[in-house]
A and B are shown apart, each in its own frame.
Chain A
């Protein structure tokens, strides 16, 4: 679903490092596809390869799209500031109104309701205790 994809990108956006965030901001401000060279001018002091690697990382994270023009790639954002605002507002409303994934936990009573904490070593130890207890009950004739 497009909304979900937007939400995923928003989560990625929230985890960006300072340089990545700056790059996304600049691409947004420009409102048109940018090349590595264009961006390097705005990020004075940074090496061409640093800017190129950062853009490539953002492309791989799904935040930027790119197309080739001549010999260079041109980058643009996959999520617009408007979409970002909309998704943030939706998330806030969802959180306020209890429509988060956490609150949508199914109403089910399970035999083992607490998955995750049971690692293999613990289960083996519990099985050993069960065997011992079984043996003890057998000896006691219960």
Chain B
């Protein structure tokens, strides 16, 4: 039993170590990529930032599962009289908190969504909008705005005020934007990103990565809704400005989100009017960025194949555990 407990603590500590290392690596990578990412196409940005968000957690889990766990099983004799020291216990506890935090925070986000949705649907009527392809609800009271809800079965919740403010063409453009979100399963991806465990979610860097992803997802939905038509782009831009005018003041906790890079209305409207949503990043910039994502994962995989290195890492871990 102690053997398994110590092994589990080793794995948890390995997760924390690699998670922190990969988080540091991300800080370096984003510095390298810099503002260049702003010139990428929305789809390139959304893929890149989603990968960046997942990277530390994936590297940490892989390191624990492929390097630390097997190393412990191969090299630690079953009858060894190891025990869980205070430092190892503390690190393992930290790892449990980091691992639990992501899923729990995703759960609170899901519950908050359900609560909000129930409140809105209580004062809503079903709207006939076959062109949307999923249920549309018109909220009679309050200032709901224009929201796509649902992880697998999308539904659109729109305030009567917003619907009335838009002309039929603007409404069609706005519906197109929400259809694009539904087709990309953005709410599900949002949930997945929120559920990613690890230290990144505790840092301002993690919040920046999430904001960049949201901005890219919005721009990508704009691009798909417009489909390269300058007229549709103008209508969508107009709809954005009208809905923004109706929007309620942001809740205190959403203030940080208002500084979104490419997600802010100013950039979105200007991009729509300039028609530059379909530009693509130079191949070299993309190659550097994706190589940066793959480096930690390839490094972990390479480590797991080299038994000498696995042994050295195990010895190092043991040394540290004994020392502290």
A110 to B244, Cβ gap below 8 A?
A: no
Complex Cα spacing A134 to B101, Å: 48
A117 within 8 A of B: yes
Q: Which residues of A contact B151 (CB under 8 A)?
A: 107
**Which applies to chain B's interface (DSSP): helix, strand, loop or mixed?**
helix
Q: Which of A97, A114, A123, A129 contacts B104 (CB 8 A)?
A: A97
Q: Which residues of A contact B253 (CB under 8 A)?
A: 101-102, 105
B248 within 8 A of A: yes
Q: Which of A108, A118, A123 contacts B148 (CB 8 A)?
A: A108
Given known A-B contacts A108-B147, A112-B146, A99 and B112 have beta carbons under 8 A apart: no
Q: Which of A102, A106, A112, A134 contacts B247 (CB 8 A)?
A: A112
- Which chain B residues numbered 193 to 235 have a C-beta less than 8 Å away from chain A? 194, 201, 214-215, 217-218, 221, 230-231, 234
A16 within 8 A of B: no
Complex Cα spacing A98 to B107, Å: 9
B234 to A137, Cβ gap below 8 A?
A: yes
A106 to B112, Cβ gap below 8 A?
A: yes
Q: Which residues of A contact B214 (CB under 8 A)?
A: 113
| Chain A residue at minimum C-beta to C-beta distance from B265 | A118
A130 to B269, Cβ gap below 8 A?
A: yes
Residue from B108, B148, B239 whose CB has the most chain A CB atoms within 10 Å: B108
A8 within 8 A of B: no
Q: Which residues of B contact A111 (CB under 8 A)?
A: 145-147, 162, 174, 177-178, 239-240, 243
Given known A-B contacts A115-B247, A115-B258, A109 and B108 have beta carbons under 8 A apart: no
Complex Cα spacing A9 to B230, Å: 53
B109 to A106, Cβ gap below 8 A?
A: yes
B105 to A97, Cβ gap below 8 A?
A: yes
A109 to B263, Cβ gap below 8 A?
A: no
Q: Which of A97, A103, A142 contacts B109 (CB 8 A)?
A: A103
Q: Which residues of A contact B178 (CB under 8 A)?
A: 109, 111
Complex Cα spacing A105 to B149, Å: 13
Q: Which residues of B contact A97 (CB under 8 A)?
A: 97, 100-101, 104-105
Q: How many residues of B are in contact with the other chain, CB < 8 A? A: 66
| Chain B residue at minimum C-beta to C-beta distance from A125 | B266
B218 to A113, Cβ gap below 8 A?
A: yes
Q: How many A-B residue pairs have CB under 8 A?
A: 157
A105 to B254, Cβ gap below 8 A?
A: yes
A104 to B174, Cβ gap below 8 A?
A: no
Q: Which residues of A contact B269 (CB under 8 A)?
A: 126, 129-130
Complex Cα spacing A142 to B254, Å: 39
A47 within 8 A of B: no
Q: Which of A102, A106, A116, A126 contacts B249 (CB 8 A)?
A: A116
Complex Cα spacing A97 to B217, Å: 27
A133 within 8 A of B: yes
Interface string of B244-275 (1 = CB under 8 A from A): 11011110011111111001111001100100
- Which chain B residues numbered 145 to 188 have a C-beta less than 8 Å away from chain A? 145-149, 151, 162, 174, 177-178, 181, 186-187
Q: Which residues of B contact A122 (CB under 8 A)?
A: 265-266
Give the distance to chain B from A83, nearest Cβ to Cβ, in Å: 23
A103 to B147, Cβ gap below 8 A?
A: no
Complex Cα spacing A137 to B218, Å: 24
Give the distance to chain A from B278, nearest Cβ to Cβ, in Å: 17
Q: Which residues of A contact B264 (CB under 8 A)?
A: 114, 117-118
Q: Which residues of A contact B100 (CB under 8 A)?
A: 97
Complex Cα spacing A118 to B116, Å: 23
A115 to B250, Cβ gap below 8 A?
A: yes
B187 to A109, Cβ gap below 8 A?
A: yes
